[in-house]
Amino acid sequence: MSGPLVLGIETSCDETGVGIVRGTELLANVIASSMEEHARYGGVVPEVAARAHLEALAPTLQRALDDAGVSLQDLDAIAVTSGPGLAGALMVGVGAAKALALSLDKPLYAVNHLVGHVGADLLTGDDIEYPTVALLVSGGHTSLLLVRDLISDVELLGETIDDAAGEAFDKVARLLSLPYPGGPEIDRAAVGGDPTAIRFPRGLSLPKDMAQHRYDFSFSGLKTAVARWVEREQDAGAPVPVADVAASFREAVVDVLIAKALAACADLGVPRLLLGGGVVANARLRAVAEERCAAAGVELRIPPLSLCTDNGAMIAAIGSQLVAAGRAPSGLEFGADSTLPV
């Protein structure tokens, strides 16, 4: 395979990611996570994340170069996540990428983190067919995108108006006295639970008069509903049926995520759905997506988990597309934008 040799740097949340690609060929994808440092706070602490990036970035870069068997001088370009994400965390990656680009005299490309998640699919070896709907679910974002072209035409259809889906998993896990990160814990706790035991609310679920929120999500009401339900049981002196609560909560999240993604596919006549983000690790989400996509005649694509969670390779993949398309580099003036739109 051939194509531009591009380094990608990702520091938007708690993963320090450095990836190297040649065209759409994955040469290295090294990730250092500060997740354990955040565990005792029950969620990502921005200041802790930024400091961890500062410590992890140089060794992560070195490992990526070693894995790929290339040197910095070999690179055709450098790509970096410029947003959205945690401002201080983003600044570490953007600062490092600018220093590298300036000292090596290499073109630098600013990449949108959400577009990067879609770009991860390029590294699976298959071409992305357009248009496609993409559902990105992690601890930091829950976004539904219409992708007509990865580097020139990505439209945000909707997003969460409060908590991200992963954040809801983390908060509900805490309510159930399960450790952080909550997603895998809820997945484990739900084994043997009855997903129909408790009917938790589906936020912003599709009534006609909600047209303006048709593709948006809301998970804070669900979290509150779980909290109230657990409190009531405890007040009544009953043991909390953790497996049933976990399974019912997970079902509510998964149901609304897939229902809205497939509503977008149907409304827009797009028979393809791409999933990305750390919540894609969820066993029930994968099963429901497969089942309902098959029933709706929608082709489902889920990259391997190492490419679904935050990583530098997906950012490099977009950089490589930009170079191949002859796009002008971003220059050295851009900043880190925590609310960067797609």
Q: What is the DSSP string of 174-203?
A: HHTTPPSSHHHHHHHHTTT--TTSS----T
Q: Does 138 bind Zn ion (CB under 5 A)?
A: yes
Between 81 and 120, how does the x/- string for binding to ligand KG4 read (CB under 6 A)?
----------------------------------------
Q: Does 170 bind ligand KG4 (CB under 6 A)?
A: yes
Q: How far is the CB of 129 from ligand KG4 (least distance, A)?
A: 24
Q: Tokens in use for 78?
A: 């450098």
CB 249 within 8 A of CB 226: yes
* Phi, psi of 240, deg, nearest 5: -75, 125
Bridge partner residues of 149 (DSSP): 153
Between 246 and 285, how does the x/- string for binding to ligand KG4 read (CB under 6 A)?
-------------------------------xxx-xx---
Q: Tokens in use for 107?
A: 């073109």
* Matching residue, tokens 């889920």: 302
C-alpha separations of 150 from 146, 176, 254 in Å = 10, 40, 26
Tell me if the bond preceding 271 is cis, omega within 30° of 0: no
The response to whether 140 counts as a known ligand-binding position is yes
Q: How far is the CB of 182 from ligand KG4 (least distance, A)?
A: 5
Choosing from 4, 17, 83, 140, the residue that interacts with ligand KG4 (CB under 6 A) is 140
The response to whether 76 counts as a known ligand-binding position is no
Choosing from 22, 310, 312, 317, the residue that interacts with Zn ion (CB under 5 A) is 310
Q: Which is nearer to ligand KG4, 43 or 201 (CB)?
A: 43
Annotated binding site: 113, 117, 136-140, 170, 183, 187, 282, 310
Name the binding residues for substrate: 136-140, 170, 183, 187, 282
